[in-house]
Amino acid sequence: MALLDIRQRTGYLFMAVIIGHIILISAQVNTDRGVPVLEAVTFGAFAEVQRGASTLIGGVRTSWDDYLALQSVRSDNEQLRREVAQLQVALQQQRALAQQSRTLVDLLQLREQVQLETVAAAVIAGSASPDFRTLTIDKGSADGLRPDMAVIAPAGVVGRIITPSARAAKVQLLIDRNAAAGAIVERSRAQGVVEGTGGDLRLNYVSGTADVRSGDVVITSGIDGIYPKGFVVGQIESVERGAGEFGTVVIRPAVDFSSIEAVLVVVSPVLSGVEEPVAIDEGAATEPATQARE
């Protein structure tokens, strides 16, 4: 029928009236969920519109982020690389600080254990020449340091003060060729003199009949008047019996001289040293000592 043709004015009017009534009815009738049909249909339809708009906006945004906005990625990347580098440096600094803290804790424990009057000092420099095994600490005569004072670390004996200035001091390491210390084998109490070779230590002047074995812990004897008695020097690495009275005993130092950061300088008389071997590090030096006591 021509009257029902939607293209005519009557058709539009008819559709408008029908839709108006449907809307009116929908506003009063509830769905199964108790929501008015008009609200449900309107919300449902608008939700689809929102979904479509969201999809459209998401697509545009994705296109923008994935393609157009990449223009600044290069500069961002460079900036991020710089930040990563800075953070890596900062991380290393933090690690260094943590390690330093651990070292200081060990040092504090050593200080409490040895019951000697000590001065804590930080290593501020190494040796100026490879022929001399020394290091410089940040404490000097102004802090009570004098020549021939023993320098110890949590792992064991480090060396002695040789040149103190007002605010710094040079320490001769025990592995220096000119360094020596009275020592005994902890297990057998065999005595000798520890001397540096520039890289490791030798236990000289040990009786050929002495009970010395590889793995024995060597500690200071205190007879030299410099190092307090009972501090770990190192561990016997090898023993070579010679034809003469003395053999060659190689000692692996208890202290890692290449990574030492903080030390204690013993400022009290050496005779008040400790009897038991002192080494805070949980390394090889302490463990053999325990085994030897057993």
Partner 1 sequence: MKAVGVVIAIALALALQTTLARFLVGGTVALDLVLVVVVYVALTSGPVTGMLAGSLAGIIQDALSSGVIGIGGLAKSIVGFLAGAIGQQFIVTAALPRMVMFLGATAAHAAVFMGLYVLLGLRSFPAPWAAILSQALGNAAVGMVAFAIIESVPGMVDRRRVRRRL
Given 29, 35, 87, 128, the residue binding partner 1 (CB under 8 A): 29
Binding to partner 1 (CB under 8 A) within 3-22 occurs at 3-4, 10, 13-14, 17-18, 20-22
Gyration radius from the chain CA atoms:
41
- Indicate the residue among 13 and 89 with the shorter CB distance to partner 1: 13
Non-local (6+) Cβ contacts of 2 within 8 A are: 8
Dmax over CA atoms of the chain, in Å, equals: 135
Per DSSP, the residues of 220-282 read: E-STTSSSPTTBEEEEEEEEE--SSS--EEEEEESS-TTS--EEEEE-S-GGG--SS-B--S-
- Indicate the residue among 37 and 104 with the shorter CB distance to partner 1: 37
Closest CA to 132 of 157, 162, 154, 152: 162
- Indicate the residue among 11 and 126 with the shorter CB distance to partner 1: 11
**Residue 148 in tokens:** 């021939």
**Site track 37-56 with partner 1 (rule: CB under 8 A), x = hit:** x-------------------
- Indicate the residue among 3 and 243 with the shorter CB distance to partner 1: 3
What does DSSP assign to residue 6? Answer: T
Q: Find the part of the chain contacting partner 1 (CB under 8 A) among 25-33, 105-113, 178-186, 275-283.
A: 25-33
CB of 6 to partner 1, least distance (A): 13
**Residue 87 in tokens:** 């953070």
CB of 30 to partner 1, least distance (A): 9
Binding to partner 1 (CB under 8 A) within 148-207 occurs at none
- Indicate the residue among 23 and 89 with the shorter CB distance to partner 1: 23
For residues 254 and 232, the answer to whether their CB atoms sit within 8 Å is yes
Residues 266, 114: Cα–Cα separation, whole Å: 10
Using the rule CB under 8 A, is 105 a contact of partner 1? no
- Indicate the residue among 36 and 283 with the shorter CB distance to partner 1: 36
Q: Which residues bind partner 1 (CB under 8 A)?
A: 1, 3-4, 10, 13-14, 17-18, 20-25, 28-29, 37
